[in-house]
Amino acid sequence: MRLGTFLLISALAAPALPAQVAPAEPPVQTGRLPWLSIPSLPWKAGETAPPSPPPAAVAAPQAGLTVRIAADGVLRVVDDRGMIHLRSGLPGRPLRAWRDGGVPVADLGAPLVFGQDPPLARGLGALPVADPDFRKALEGLLWIQCDDGRVLTLVLPATGRAVYLPLPDDGDLAFAFHADRLEARSSRRGECWSLPWLTLLPQLIQLGQAAPSARGSGTALIPFPRD
């Protein structure tokens, strides 16, 4: 048998090769957002309560930590030397903010100054748990409501930490800071929910823990990142 005929018979007898398939695209790597997959909170539905007297405003320090909330949802905490203590994205675009125990922030675009030694940064023993007005323990906190409608961002600039409180409704909520609880009211559905402050002790303790030091993330001349 001639060589050409042999090669033709072998080619016909060989199994058909599968068509070449383009290699699959590598999966897109997405980081887990910290406000996703967090446990729900025991919000209790009920009637709207009479408003509590507004909390006493805490005198803003002349120097300390400056917080800037950008309109695009970028949050920065910088000390008086220009060193960044926290730079993070918010769940959405900021709508409203409160400081300490519920004092409204009049201008979201203006820098906010916070002290470096609030009660939460001194440990659980420094919190006035037995005080009928628990809002005194919330000094030094920053509350930010965004247009995502799912969580309320809670920041303690003194430690550079943030936690996220899942909300009972995904609409535009109005918040009231009572002496013993946080209240959320839905303008869309007319419902009201409340959350006792003591329920948030795990989140408050987490906020009070010092964040990992930023040392080593820069150079010998600039050991901390700058804004």
Summarised one tens digit per residue, pLDDT across range 61-89 is: 766 899 999 999 999 999 988 999 999 99
Cβ atoms < 10 Å from Cβ of 117: 13
Q: What is the pLDDT at residue 105? A: 94
E strand residue ranges, the chain: 44-45, 65-69, 74-79, 84-89, 94-99, 103-104, 112-114, 142-146, 151-156, 161-166, 173-177, 181-186, 192-196
Does pLDDT of 160 surpass 90?
Answer: yes
Residue 72's alpha-carbon distances to 88, 91, 128, 146, in angstroms, are 11, 10, 36, 10
Average pLDDT rounded to a whole number, residues 6-34: 43
Where residue 213 falls among pLDDT bands split at 50, 70, 90? low
Percent of the chain with pLDDT over 90: 48
Residue 77's alpha-carbon distances to 9, 88, 94, 116, in angstroms, are 77, 9, 16, 11
Who has greater pLDDT, 4 or 46? 46
Q: What is the pLDDT at residue 12? A: 41
166: tokens are 């899942």
Q: What is the DSSP letter of 215?
A: T
34: tokens are 């910290």
Where residue 3 falls among pLDDT bands split at 50, 70, 90? very low
Does this model's pTM top 0.85? My answer is: no
Where residue 10 falls among pLDDT bands split at 50, 70, 90? very low
Q: What is the pLDDT at residue 124? A: 75
Average pLDDT rounded to a whole number, residues 184-197: 88
Q: What is the pLDDT at residue 145? A: 96
Q: What is the pLDDT at residue 80? A: 87
With a CB cutoff of 8 Å and minimum separation 6, the contacts of 217 are: 223, 224, 225
Q: What is the pLDDT at residue 178? A: 92
Alpha-carbon dihedral sign for residues 148, 212, 126, 108: negative
Who has greater pLDDT, 130 or 217? 130
Give the C-alpha separation, 120 to 66, whole Å.
18
32: tokens are 């887990």
